Amino acid sequence: MKRLILGLLALTVATMWLFNFSAGIVGGLWLFFTGGWGIVLGGLILSFIMPFVYSIAFLPQLLIAPLLIKAVEKGNRFLISLLSFVTVVYGNFLLLYWVSYVFEWMLSYKDLPGIALWLWAYSVVMSPISYMAAKEGSNAGAGTTIGLLFTQISFFIFSAGLLSGNPESGYIWALIFLFIFSIIAVCIGIYSIPKKEINTDAFDSATHQELQEQKQLEANKERVHRKGEALAQGIRESEENKKNAHKNAEAIARGIRESSTKAKILLIQDDPNVNEILSVVLKSAGYSVETAGDGEIGLNKLENTYYDLVLLGILLRKVGGIEILKKIREKRVKQGKIIIFSNYTEENIIKEAIELGADGFKVMADVTPAELPKLINDYLPGTISNKKGL
């Protein structure tokens, strides 16, 4: 079912791209040669600045991110649904406002051909949204596709209201569509999250084992400390043993540093919420964590810093996950384990990633926050972590 839906969305978007291009050419030239060159220029300016204005208007959603992270950590599906709904409604409302603004502005020019105005308005509305999707290249996900589809349908709803002779009805139906569409989008997102329950017995057992390991580590450090004191006493008692005692103390200190070194992990995911959640969980587990919000940043970090383990997404902005694997292979960049960590499960892509040097693949939706440290330990056995808060 999921592949069918994504396939239909992809077909719809492909058709939309063709219609958008045709509408822009026909409507723009028509207006230009009928004296509407000013509105053509104005539409181009609006399309250019819209992505920047949209990015600024989208910033308040970052206030919801910490609450959503806590809800995910606690497994509170109701709170996750509520916060996701608020986020989706806000994003769709921004798109709806953009559509209504351009629609009213264009059609206020009564002295120009109506069909030309409608075609140019459609192109102005859809071009910046398509541009933002194009920046993600072939890695644009279902979320981007649904946003494009919502914008297109909203424009047609306004058009239907105008044709019916009652433009106000278009606004009413557009708002109704906004809420229905947002509910459906949230339901699809929540439905895709696997309903897994944590085995509390196993969790308690693992926690007990972690406490024992921590106590053992503390005991080892205490023994090391006592040995250090004995060595210091030997230094004071005999100048003859001073050199050897110093070497032993250095060896012991080096052993302490090596035993407490944290494994260094890089998260390369284009969703800031996902990066934040994974980072909180792994840092709480005692790992050293860095994040990259797109493929370009991630590739730059990989080329300049060694990481023990990398959780790499497939669908990334600017530089995709497959392209990152190709580039570090071409440049012979030495890295630790690279794990494909994504909800993208296309077999050919996963096979290509493994052939390019990826050490494994895990479906992100199949791994709960409580299971993430164990997954890391499977690939980095024997790493030392405090695992606090898990």
Segments making up each domain of the chain, as ranges = 2-191, 200-259, 264-379
Q: DSSP 3-state assignment of 24?
A: helix
Asked whether residue 2 carries a pLDDT value surpassing 70, the answer given is no
Handedness of CA 62, 67, 69, 71 (dihedral sign): negative
Q: DSSP 3-state assignment of 265?
A: strand
Instruction: Output 215 or 116, whichever has higher pLDDT.
Output: 116
pLDDT value at residue 17: 66
Lowest mean pLDDT of 15-29, 43-57, 208-222, name the range: 208-222
Question: What Å distances lie between residue 333 and 85, 196, 229, CA to CA?
Answer: 42, 38, 44
Q: In the predicted model, what is the mean pLDDT of residues 298-321?
A: 90
Rounded to 10 deg, the angle between the 77-107 and 37-57 helix axes is 160
Instruction: Output 256 or 276, whichever has higher pLDDT.
Output: 276
The pair of three-digit structure tokens given for residue 38, joined into one six-digit string? 């000013």
pLDDT value at residue 268: 93
For 225-251, the DSSP string reads: HHHHHHHHHHHHH-GGGHHHHHHHHHH
pLDDT value at residue 386: 40
Q: How far apart are CA 104 and CA 98, in angstroms?
A: 10
Asked whether residue 380 carries a pLDDT value surpassing 80, the answer given is yes
pLDDT value at residue 260: 39
CATH class of 264-379: alpha beta
The predicted-structure confidence for 76-121, as pLDDT tens digits, reads as follows 777 877 888 888 888 888 888 888 888 888 778 878 888 888 888 8
The pair of three-digit structure tokens given for residue 377, joined into one six-digit string? 């330990």
Instruction: Output 5 or 124, whichever has higher pLDDT.
Output: 124
Do 283 and 289 touch, CB atoms closer than 8 A? yes
Residue with tokens 């910046």: 128
Lowest mean pLDDT of 72-76, 241-245, 355-359, name the range: 241-245
pLDDT value at residue 5: 54
pLDDT value at residue 10: 58
Residue 37 pLDDT class (50, 70, 90 cuts): confident
Neighbours of 295 (CB within 10 A): 27
Q: How far apart are CA 209 and CA 378, in angstroms?
A: 16
Do 205 and 375 touch, CB atoms closer than 8 A? no
Residue 388 pLDDT class (50, 70, 90 cuts): very low
Q: Residues in the chain, how many?
A: 390
Q: Give me the residues paired with residue 265 across strands.
A: 289, 309
Q: At residue 105, what is the residue type? A: W
pLDDT value at residue 209: 59
Instruction: Output 252 or 115, whichever has higher pLDDT.
Output: 115
In the sheet that holds 288-292, the strands lie side by side as: 288-292, 264-268, 309-312, 337-342, 360-363
pLDDT value at residue 143: 55
Residue 200 pLDDT class (50, 70, 90 cuts): very low
Residue 389 pLDDT class (50, 70, 90 cuts): very low
List CB contacts of 388: < 8 A, sequence separation 6 or more. 284, 285, 286
Q: At residue 118, what is the residue type? A: W
H/E segment holding residue 338: strand 337-342
Most confident of 56-65, 187-196, 292-301: 292-301
Asked whether residue 50 carries a pLDDT value surpassing 50, the answer given is yes
The predicted-structure confidence for 143-184, as pLDDT tens digits, reads as follows 566 677 777 788 888 888 877 777 778 788 888 888 887 787
Asked whether residue 376 carries a pLDDT value surpassing 90, the answer given is no
Asked whether residue 259 carries a pLDDT value surpassing 70, the answer given is no
Neighbours of 135 (CB within 10 A): 14
The predicted-structure confidence for 327-358, as pLDDT tens digits, reads as follows 888 888 888 889 998 887 788 888 888 988 88
Residue 135 pLDDT class (50, 70, 90 cuts): low
